Amino acid sequence: MKQRLVTGVLAGALFLGLMILGGHFYAALIIVMASIAMFEFSRMNHLSWKNPLHIAALIGMLALVIPFEWYGLNWLADTTIIWLLMFILLALTVLTKNQITIDEVALTFLGTVYLGIGFAAMIDVRLMEEHALWWSFIAFCSIWASDIGAYFFGRAFGKRKLWPLISPNKTIEGAIGGVISSIIVAIVFAIIAPNIMELWHAVLLGLVAAVAGQLGDLMQSAYKRVRGIKDMGNLLPGHGGIIDRTDSWIIVFPILVLTQLIPV
């Protein structure tokens, strides 16, 4: 427990510090986190770092995450990057005479888009022209409020299991508590800065962040259960790997951007 607390405080302080600094510092942090996450995903699927699938996936993921336009470089659209990645991965099945299988390609492609779009959205929000830090904070605080609320509501009132075959400790009461907590935090942000966000907008953002975040957590729980593992990695003692700590983030941020609840 002590190790988990110390790791959480140190990692959280580093993350928040670089997020506040923003710019190249925050972008570099997210790019490093995304790269480690790609290694974790490949390892979970029994791909070594030397495997052509992993190399192609890592390059494709970086092409999605790195904000080339922010560095003054012209680059391909995300849809083009995704199609080229698909083409290269499928071509590997032919070039290796099916030693690389279509099933492996499908999993790798899924992971690359999942991680690439997820981490890229975090950078996109922080690099917004107006109120970038504020929007980043409300998104993260809504996610964290959902996690904390779900934990404490579940401990205090949890009786009915939410999805026992996927995550046996989660309860319906905890999930509801997480949603309520997230909405309350988002409303506080709206009250503090009414010129940026209206109350109805805050309620909707908090609701979407909580539901999407909990679903993102369950998605990883389902995948790890299939693979028979507890954590995706051991980079953060007591917390697991990067994906274990960001499974909510990489679902919430793209949804908030796609729905324009965060007006990137």
Q: Is pLDDT above 80 for 105?
A: yes
Residue whose C-alpha is closest to residue 94's, from 33, 136, 52: 52
Domain boundaries, the chain: 1-127, 131-264
CA distances 150 to 11, 184, 210, 213, 220, Å, are: 22, 13, 9, 11, 17
Mean pLDDT of 29-35: 96
Which residues lie across from 240 on neighbouring strands? 236
Q: What is the mean pLDDT of residues 196-217?
A: 96
Other beta carbons within 10 angstroms of residue 32's beta carbon come to: 11
| pLDDT of 5 | 66
Burial class (CB in 10 A: 0-12, 13-18, 19+), 139: buried
Q: What is the mean pLDDT of the chain?
A: 90
Instruction: With a cut of 90, say whether residue 8 has pLDDT above it.
Output: no
Given a cut of 70, whether residue 256 has pLDDT beyond it is yes
The answer to whether 174 and 158 are in contact (CB under 8 A) is yes
Tell me the per-residue pLDDT of 212-237, one tens digit each, with 9 for 90 and over: 999 999 998 888 888 878 777 666 65
Tell whether the model's pLDDT for residue 60 goes beyond 60.
yes
Q: What is the structure's pLDDT at 209?
A: 98
